Amino acid sequence: MPDRLVPATLAFSDDGTLVSPAYGDIYHSAAGALAQANYVFVAGNGLPARWQGRRTFTIVETGFGAGGNFLATWAAWRDDPARCERLHFVSVEKHPFTRDDLRRAASHMVAQTTTSADVDALADAWPMLVPGLHRLEFDGGRVVLTLVFGDALAMLPKLAVRADAFYLDGFAPSKNPDLWSVDVFRALARLAGDGATFATYSSSGAVKHALAEASFAYRKVDGFAGKRAMLVGEFAPRWQMRRHEPPRALPVDTRRAIVIGAGLAGCAVVERLAARGWDVTLIERRERIASEASGNPAGVFHPLMTRDDNVASRLTRSGFLHALARWRALERAGHGFGRSTRGMIQLAESADDFERMRTAFDALGVPPDYARLLNVDEARARACRCRSRTAACCFRTAARCGRPSCPPRSARRPVSACES
């Protein structure tokens, strides 16, 4: 069961620096968040040179904060004509800001810079504050931000990603020692690809010890804005054998695929492949798409909630939120889904059933824009045809979905549709 998310509190010091009252520490140097990010993390990991000519480059960060490191990296990627095809930025955050607070915090960090438009894009895409993974896409899907909301030690072992660089940017080790522990660094080492590097503003003895214990070689270099030292280095294991290697990208030069079956799942696969630059042929034996198993007049689209937040609960939550984001993006691009946006009410079958709902709701601590409990009168008022004698759970963004009107197409890649 994940810990309930506790949002970060927005606060500033007298000199305007973003601070955390909970940890008693600053989010960035008073000399500037973006300048610090570019010096410590971008240049500290040998970027942009290291991503040049690559198909994909993956960065894993501990501590997203208000997104300064991500915004600086995104800007550096965009400004580099030799950039990699796709930038994947993975960041773990235990105490994320709410959308409004993130917008204020990030806007304050990037004031009077060309990055301000990126702040709006980030805030507009910011997910609901529920535990787990949230994938955001920018620049036509070429920049992917995977936010991991939860405790780093609990979430890092669940990731399947091959990291090329690490940004170690938690609050100071004296303020937040858990994020600089040997266990966290070993969890990062499990994700390290060949030649993976790291950078951090800290040069404390405890951090150096933890890095060495996790097979990271480090060296001291001059710190940012007069700071005496910071650490950079690389993953340098004493032996190469690992129980589980991090995943590698598919070694294919010509990216072509055939998808058989133009139902909802087939169309979703086509859209994702096309968005990643694949040429896709979609084969369907019927004259219309979504004519068989996906051919029902409508389907109910909502997540599950369980008291123990089991696999089904976590999977449907992630799928629900990701699908919402993708469908909204496709609708903005002109694709129709015929879905309602009025939400859904899940009626309790009995008082005991509602108590199970309440227990799951309280354990997860979800925000009201994800779900809220309704008493009997509220349930009847929301569903005018309902004569329920029990309470209910309302998913505000759940929907009744019709079948898509056409196969989703990428603006950058062709999709062929064939009949068998």
Closest CA to 301 of 264, 333, 276, 269: 264
Predicted pLDDT of residue 409: 45
pTM of the predicted protein model: 0.87
At residue 109, does pLDDT exceed 60?
yes
Q: What is the pLDDT of residue 52?
A: 98
Each domain of the chain, given as residue ranges in start order, spans 11-235, 297-401
CATH of 11-235, one of 3.40.50.150, 2.60.40.10, 3.40.50.300, 3.30.70.920: 3.40.50.150
Residue 385 has pLDDT above 70, yes or no: no
Lowest mean pLDDT among 137-146, 261-270, 325-334, 404-413: 404-413
Query: What local confidence, expressed as pLDDT, does residue 412 receive?
Result: 39
Amino acid at 386: C
Q: Name residues whose C-beta falls within 8 Å of residue 111's C-beta, 6 or more positions apart in sequence.
A: none
Distance between CA atoms of 23 and 319, rounded to whole angstroms?
A: 33
Q: What is the DSSP string of 73-114?
A: HHHHHHH-TT--SEEEEEEEESSPPPHHHHHHHHHHHTTTST
What does the pLDDT look like over 285-334, one tens digit per residue? 888 887 887 777 777 888 988 888 888 988 999 889 988 888 888 787 78
Chain CA centroid to CA 62, Å: 13
Cα–Cα distance for residue pair 416/224, rounded to 1 Å: 52
Supply the pLDDT for residue 99.
Answer: 96
DSSP letter string, 137-172: EEGGGTEEEEEEES-HHHHGGG----EEEEEE--S-
Q: Is the confidence at residue 15, as pLDDT, over 70? A: yes
57-66, 184-193, 260-269: least confident range? 260-269
Average pLDDT, the chain: 88
State mean pLDDT over 352-357. 88
- Among 105-109, 175-179, 358-362, name the most confident range: 175-179
Least confident of 192-201, 257-266, 273-282, 385-394: 385-394
pLDDT at 376 over 90: no
Q: What type of residue is 151? A: D
SS3 of 50, please? helix
Number of continuous H segments (helices) and E segments (strands) in the chain:
11, 19
The larger pLDDT score, comparing residue 384 to residue 109, is at 109
